[in-house]
């Protein structure tokens, strides 16, 4: 017969596994980094990012969302491939972003001024 203690011990690892992503969440980028991102954007893209970076949304997070949306709109996914689901990392200097695609990672070039796909 299962006791309350046995059930709690059995589900403890599941609860711990669910809590791990919260524990490793990235802190918000500092203000100097966010200003540097804005300074590198075109005037139109900068206005778009600044208008969305409100209510606790950082410039970096807004740029990540715009970048993900732009890559999805660029039709980079072949039939049968998993969609791009999140931005893992952004290198504004080399103009490459790393995206989660299914169970793998994919590096895609982008224009750091417009946050759009860049053909190489």
Average pLDDT, the chain: 83
Between the two ends of the chain, the Cα-to-Cα distance in Å is: 64
pLDDT for 120 equals 76
At 48-84, the pLDDT tens digits run 999 999 988 999 999 999 999 999 999 899 999 999 9
**pLDDT (mean) for 9-38:** 62
Sign of CA dihedral 72, 76, 80, 86: negative
Extents of the domains making up the chain = 29-117
């Amino acid at each position: 017969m299962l006791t309350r203690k046995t059930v709690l011990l059995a589900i403890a690892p599941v609860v711990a596994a669910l809590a791990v992503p919260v524990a490793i969440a990235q802190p918000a980028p500092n203000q100097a980094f966010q200003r540097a991102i804005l300074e590198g954007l075109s005037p139109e893209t900068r206005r778009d990012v600044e208008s969305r970076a409100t209510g606790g949304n950082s410039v970096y997070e807004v740029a990540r969302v715009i970048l993900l949306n732009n890559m999805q709109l660029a039709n980079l996914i072949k039939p049968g491939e998993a969609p791009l689901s999140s931005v893992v990392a952004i290198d504004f200097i080399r103009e490459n972003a790393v995206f989660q695609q299914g169970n793998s990672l994919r590096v895609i070039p982008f224009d750091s001024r417009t946050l759009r796909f860049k053909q190489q």
